[in-house]
Structure 1
Amino acid sequence: MSDLLAALLLGILEGLTEFLPVSSTGHLLIAQHFIGEQRPDLFNIVIQAGAILATTLVFRHRLWALATGLGERANRDYAMKLAVAFGVTAAVGLPVRLLGWELPETVTPVAWALILGGVWMVVAERLAARRPESAHITWTVAVLVGLAQVVAGVFPGTSRSAAAIFIALLAGTGQRSAATEFVFLVGIPTMFAASAYALLEHVLDGNAAPVAWDELALAFAAATATGFVAVRWLLGYIKQHSYTPFAVYRIVLGVALLLWLPVGM
């Protein structure tokens, strides 16, 4: 497989999985394992920005309404909670990054994270269904969503969107669409900041491996296009369906990987 084709396929995979609760990073690591080529963290993080760009386009009207309506208390309150969630992620996540955290090079921990995350989703959704349905985002939800993003970033396979959405549901935002929208909007500054930081690290690292910018650009474009489709589809899907099918998929995939892969892979 040519490098450009591999980059294209990874970009498509990233776009399809970034906001589905199945872990885009985990899927990228699995795909790279079978392709036989481990891409640098810079590649994995920057193409995520393509999917985030797609999300920005999907929510462009909502974002514009928030930006131009800050004079209204409801909009100002919501924007401040988005800022708090992002601030918590940055305040906790940056020290983790500075301590030298890197993505795993083996698939086994990703497989376990997929399984445990799938079980967590089933349990969390059942518990959340017992709570009163509410579209309100509390300050507690904002803080916990920020923390959930960090946990998901440290454990690939967990899924940033799944961790944050179900924390929001359990913490009091009982409406799936409201919790999902808040998590998606928080993901925009979070992932753009992560991509910018990864690029800055690369520029400042004199010993960093050279980047194939044509491959990165192709993967970024593919992630943007497929991410737009995936986000639009998911927002419609969750209005009438639960997240359980995604949980089942995660568990089946994780078990299959553990049974198929040799120990230590």
Structure 2
Amino acid sequence: MPSVVINDGHVVYEILGDTGELIVLTPGGRYGMDIPGLRPLAEALVAGGHRVLLWDRPNCGASDVQFFGRTESHMRADTLRGLLTALELGPCVLAGGSGGARDSMLTAILYPELVSRLVLWNIVGGIYGTLNLGAHYILPSLQAVRGRGIEGLLRLREWRERVEANPRNRDRLLSLDREEFLRLSLLWLQAYVPKPGQTIPGVEDDLFDRIQAPTLIIRGGAKDLDHPKRTSLEVHCLIENSVLIDPPWPEDAWERAMEDFVTGRADHYNMFDTWVLAAPEILKFLAEQ
């Protein structure tokens, strides 16, 4: 895969399709572009006449690990700006689900000149969803470094996988300063403490006025604790030029995926397997806007 050095770290990417408007497609969590379910959506969008840029964000997939910025999403927004600038791409469509939705929204807030339209789904919010992010993505690494120093990161499966995908990451992790890592981890953790006036972790509500691009929001499932229906409704209220639609997948798709994930089954839903069902709605929105 090709890569570009952004902020002293390699960012791996792939562009699918030869013609048409570019869509930057971003998955959730710390998953890379090889996460099952993402490529079928990308291929459906290419079949609909678009190009699609897939990328491994810092700390995801085969890209270099990086640690800077007010939040991890701020770091990723800055990285995406650098990637699009280096590739001389944009303005373009930003489309993302879960953490990818948050990264896309923040990019549109900070760098609106890069964004022509915005497509969002599985938006994380609410008390459970927000606290769960901090517990999952920040606390294990913070506790490992407090107890064992920077070397403790290599005991965590998440960072071992980053080294397996990209051997450079071992030295990059071991070169981190313990005190600076702890300081940054505590800063990133603050974003995941629910606060009045922050529908999205680490992003003040009044900043959404900066999003002027036409926006499609696929609302969260009725009982989805990670991506609450209420949060997508609130984001719809915050983004003036937005359209809200019902999910094209079953209302309980995420809950069933979580059950399968916890029990080790894969016979019903992978977390992102249903995302391809959004392709017709996304293509319709882009054709009309």
State the TM-score, normalized to the length of structure 2: 0.28
Higher strand residue share: 2
Q: Which has the higher contact order (CA 8 A, sep 6+)?
A: 1
State the TM-score, normalized to the length of structure 1: 0.29
Higher helix residue share: 1
